[in-house]
Structure 1
Amino acid sequence: MNLFADALAWLFSPDRLVGTYALPTLLAQHLIYTIVSVAVAAAIALPAGWLIGHTGRGREIAVAISGAARAIPSFGLLVLLVLVLGILQTPLAAVITFVLLAIPSLLAGAYTGLEAIDRRVIDAARAMGMTEWQIFTKVELRLGLPLLVGGLRSALLQVIATVTIAAYVNLGGLGWPIIQGIPLSRFDQVLGGAILVAALALIVDLLMALAQRAAVPAGLRTPASASPSSPSRARRAASAPA
């Protein structure tokens, strides 16, 4: 309990708001690396995932690529890219590492969202004379949006957690208090940094959960009042004549 109190004291100390490694600066760096990496990964993964989901071809290749990307250790890849690209290209090495981490979740969310749509809906759209582009934009994209947002949610959380290793190569971020505090035995600082990363992940997860819920088309939402187990339905069923 004393360590937790010390960590809170470290977090709310006025010293944390000034200097090169002020917490607002570290938070901004963490968010920048996260947003840029996920945006680049989305530009690569979403078109490929939509093409796979729409045509039904190449799913095995996508699964193999996603599995291989998930198996790559992020820390080892970051160090390797820094050694290969050079110290001056450290930010590029970090972005490449985080992009490779985000691609599998985005790719899976894109093609599974389209694959989960009932094929009868697609056939009905074709029977109405809609073109393939209209089917994709007006039917598949809208119905597959909840799973796509779920993939984006997973990618964001993975990248937020992994961007902490950027501090190991002197790129800042919320991992800096953790990386610096370990060799100095400043465990209050280490715990404070961990609390910040966890809090950021929880906030983003909550926002993305709300976005995923809002992405469900209105016609597919099941209100609680319409549930067969709701009390009003049960009372009406009990009072109905045999």
Structure 2
Amino acid sequence: MPRNNESEKKNALTRRNFLQSVAVISAGAALPQVALAESAQKITTAPKPINIDSPDAALAALLEGNRRFISGQMNSCSVPIGPLLEETVNEQQPFAAVLSCADSRVPVETIFDQELGRIFVARVAGNIATPEMIASLEYGVAVLGTKLIMVIGHSSCGAVKAAMLNKDAPGQITSLYEYIRPAIHAGGHNLSASIHDNAKIQAKLLAKASPVLSQAISEGKLRIVPAYYSLATGEVTVLKD
């Protein structure tokens, strides 16, 4: 009889060990599935809009995004498009506006590594402050609440080159020249200097020509800065007035 008891105890321990092993293996097999489920949840959730509460914070966010662009460590490329479209279909919450040249080598959202709905972009050859551009940027500030306007020129700007040569052109291309001529005079007919001065002049024009923008500036709700984009390096540099 004692031997039978010992045998039964051993069998019970063996069954218990077996069941425990099965439980451990099952749990281990479930871990990858849990991890996959959590990963799927992460990639199907759109990021929340960036909470920017000041002009300086908006500028810092743009420049930090540009640093990510230069380093090749962009965040916007990994954002799932489906949830992002759902997030922005009924509203936009841009924290900054950019008056940029229409040049195809200056894709604003890309060089600042920002997703849909983060930057309100106005693009025109020569990044000039025409009445239409001013009206668009007023909308960005007054209605959408953008904290910053960046006027960004770029190296080898064709519009500035054309205005400097002052040659006849087809259609309405020459209508751009009058907006750029003050920068050409200020830059001493030097292309690089004129491009820099053009961004500065257009930024000052925005601040002075629009009561909407000037009031936002005086209230500390808006900042307008000129900047320069290098086609060779991808770097954005804020210009001193």
Return the TM-score normalized by structure 2: 0.24
Q: Does 1 or 2 have the higher relative contact order (CA < 8 Å, sep 6+)?
A: 1
- The structure with the largest helix share of the pair is 1
Return the TM-score normalized by structure 1: 0.24
- The structure with the largest strand share of the pair is 2
